[in-house]
Amino acid sequence: MRRRTPPPPSPLPQRDGIDAVRVRLPGEGAWATVREHLVERLGPARAGIVDGLLEAGLVVGADGRAVAPDAAYVPGMFVWYHRDVPPEVPVPFPLEIVHRDEHIVVVDKPHFLATTPRGSHVTESALARLRRELDIPALGAAHRLDRLTAGLVLFTVRPEERGAYQSLFRDRRVRKVYEAVAPYDPELVLPRTVRSRIVKERGVLAAYEVAGEPNAVSRVELVEHGARGLGRYRLLPATGQTHQLRVHMNALGVPILGDPLYPEVAAPVPAGDFRRPLQLLARELEFTDPLTGTELRLRSGRVLEAWTSYDGWAAAPSAGAAQ
């Protein structure tokens, strides 16, 4: 099997912890110029943006030289540019470092902070923040947490070592423990293992269950129940489907508090609304470091406010809140 040649390194430095966009021109196509391809790729509505970048010399080739506005299309050529990122509302919660060594950084991510740049959350992502704060431009994420979920996330220091840590998650060699606050149902028999097939369509906010071979497995345990008809749950996912724990808790009839998607998709909240966070926390990560052989068991120090101080969490209405 022929090995794929890695792309050349970016000639542009990061900006605010964000890598430049890399585009490889396809091997086949009817474009006469680099501009024509970029306009088709980004959409005709962004033709003015493409022209502005080219005219300002902000699109460069592998040698770092500016690509001329009328540069001929060359199949297989790489070009880079920085996209214009609109100002983002800062997420006003800190990232806590739980473990750091020469290979990895494990952080305790707050609610509302994306793990990696995506959509409208770019500079306000854990990856971009850590690159800036720790001055580690090559830092990369080994896995992801939903933006609305808080807790432990593992990042790698060296790109060439990322695959070793990503394989831990891919091969299910990481023991993950989550905690959630949800309604208490005395008739729900727990603990139990939930198995189902979950589908997440691109462009559709909520995932859903369908008939078929299970691809999502979660163990659900009730830790305790208390006032206001709430329970504190311990969740152990054996697989990693998108929104898996949220879907399974909803299917059991006990949707997680603060969930804007399950059981129903709520209207979007304004940027900067950080009230009533989803009461889901990635509490523990346990694994054997693939490079050092060290056994690591890491734990989040965060608390789920709906359990410790429901009145504070529920002080103002927000998406997905239980009434």
Encoded amino acid at 21, one letter:
V
The whole-number pLDDT of residue 2 equals 52
d(CA 217, CA 11) in angstroms, rounded, equals: 43
- 193 closest CA partner among 214, 168, 172, 169: 214
The verdict on whether 84 is a catalytic residue reads no
233-266, pLDDT tens digit by residue?
999 999 999 999 999 999 999 999 999 999 999 9
CB of 142 within 8 A of CB of 99?
no
| Beta-carbon contacts of residue 42 (< 8 Å; ≥ 6 apart) | 49, 50
25-83, pLDDT tens digit by residue?
999 888 999 999 999 999 999 999 999 999 999 999 999 999 999 999 999 999 999 98
The whole-number pLDDT of residue 7 equals 85
Active site residue: 51, 135, 146, 289, which one? 146
pLDDT over 70 at 274, yes or no: yes
Output the pTM of the full model: 0.89
Bridge partners for 201 per DSSP:
none
Confidence of residue 3 (pLDDT cuts 50, 70, 90): low
117-134, pLDDT tens digit by residue?
988 899 999 999 999 999
Encoded amino acid at 218, one letter:
S
